[in-house]
Amino acid sequence: MQPAQNEAILHQGAAGGSRSPDRVLASRCAVLFRRSFLIVVVLASIALALDGDSVREQSLTKRVFCNCGCREVLAECSHTECNAREPLKREIASAIQQGKNDDRILGDLGTKYGAAILVVPAFRGFDALLWIVPIAVALIALAVFVWRRRSGTAASNR
């Protein structure tokens, strides 16, 4: 298009009337803004979709202890020369890419390294005792406390 044609298009409206160059420029800016916004939204969605596994990996590394002996959570292991942190993180990432769910990954890690690697032990088998025993001890202590209190009250009433 020739510059004269561009000038004519700028001044021509939809119904053959004239539009000011400011209105045409504003319209073009609005279209450009919408397109830019759409591109940003699409790119952000793609980035979040690709980063979904790393969020899941981060979540799993917070539910496992580092197995170097420091007894810190894997995601927060602060040893600069920790030889166990990165291989364990790679193992978790590999399990995620294989399509395993979180419970299966944690179960496999517990089987391979022992239940002590899990921050929260599973509620099955022998590990169920880790949940049951403290609750049972607390209930027994409460029962003894109530029984002694009542027997002390009954003895003082006589």
What would the DSSP string read from start to end of 46-84? HHHHHHHHHHHHHHHHTSBB-TTTT--BGGG---TT-SS
Residues belonging to the chain? 158
pLDDT for the residue 43: 81
101-139 residue pLDDT tens: 999 999 999 889 888 888 887 666 666 777 788 899 999
Pick from 102, 91, 113: nearest CA to 59: 102
Q: How far apart, in whole angstroms, are the C-alpha atoms of residue 44 and residue 58?
A: 20
Q: How far apart, in whole angstroms, are the C-alpha atoms of residue 29 and residue 17?
A: 21
135-157 residue pLDDT tens: 999 999 999 999 988 887 766 66
Q: How far apart, in whole angstroms, are the C-alpha atoms of residue 133 and residue 17?
A: 86
Other CB atoms closer than 10 Å to residue 11's CB: what's the count? 13
30-46 residue pLDDT tens: 888 888 888 888 887 77
